[in-house]
Structure 1
Amino acid sequence: MKKIIGNLAIALIIGVLFSCNGHYRFLIGQPPEHPSVIMPLSPGDGYIWIGGEWYFNGNSYLWRDGYWTRPRDGIRWVPGDWKRNHHEWYYNPGRWRK
């Protein structure tokens, strides 16, 4: 019973930490290459392109294609980027920011 409660407490703490953070950091050996992608035509005036980006599926990074969308009032899109921390790389996903 103590082991179950301990495991639940750890899971709860990890869940709270990740839910408070606006993005996740996954350490890897080296950033993967961006695939070659052909950007489709804009669906109309006033749309912005949100470039494709990497996401972590629990085992590895996978590529998510970009898409057209209308900008949101008062905020701008910040593309995701790779950062280096000592000898490891991590990816900050794109996000909307005021």
Structure 2
Amino acid sequence: MSSREPGRSSCGRRRRPAAAAFIASLALAGCVVAPVPPAGVVYTDPGAAIVAPLAPPPLIVEPMLVAPGPGYIWIGGYWSWSGGHHVWTHGRWAAPPRHGQQWVPRRWERGPGGWHQRGGHWR
């Protein structure tokens, strides 16, 4: 008769670190790694107040390539304010959150303290 307990292997101690590593890898597999935005791209909260001391440059005319699918709407590029200067954010295709909604583009308005950006939104 063996001196081991029933159901326990002689290499049980070696299995514990391997099992812990396996469980840790499963837990980390659920982590999401977001891509770093390209240089010069600024993502802002559409509800945030952005005030610039200078008027934005004229809009850049960008080619609208083929939509990635039916129902997608083109959201044109816009000038934002970051790091003391205007920064261009390229246009993109997006699917509306609800069928039939339209995109209201961002715009700049002269106001107290400079130029105020009004964020784009779905309507």
| Alignment TM class, shorter chain as reference | 0.5 to 0.7
Q: How does 1:65-80 map to 2 (within 5 A)?
A: 65-73=90-98, 76-80=102-106
5 Å-filtered alignment, 1:16-95, equals 22-73=47-98, 76-85=102-111, 88-95=114-121
Deviation at 1:51, TM superposition (A): 1.0
Structure 2 unmatched runs, 5+:
1-44
- Please say which of residues 64-73 and 88-97 is displaced more in the overlay: 88-97
CA–CA distance in structure 1, aligned partners of residues 47 and 112 of structure 2: 22
SS in 1 for 2:103: strand
Q: Which runs of 4+ in 1 moved over 6 A?
A: none
5+ residue gaps, structure 1: 1-18
Please give the alpha-carbon distance, in whole angstroms, between the structure 2 residues aligned to 1:83 and 1:89. 6
Q: State how far apart, in whole Å, the 2-side matches of 1:71 and 1:87 are.
A: 34
Greater relative contact order (Cα 8 A, min sep 6): structure 1 or 2?
Answer: 1
RMSD value, Cα: 2.5
The structure whose Rg is larger is 2
Instruction: Report the Cα distance in structure 1 between the residues aligned to 2:84 and 2:121, rounded to whole angstroms.
Output: 22
TM-score by length of 1: 0.63
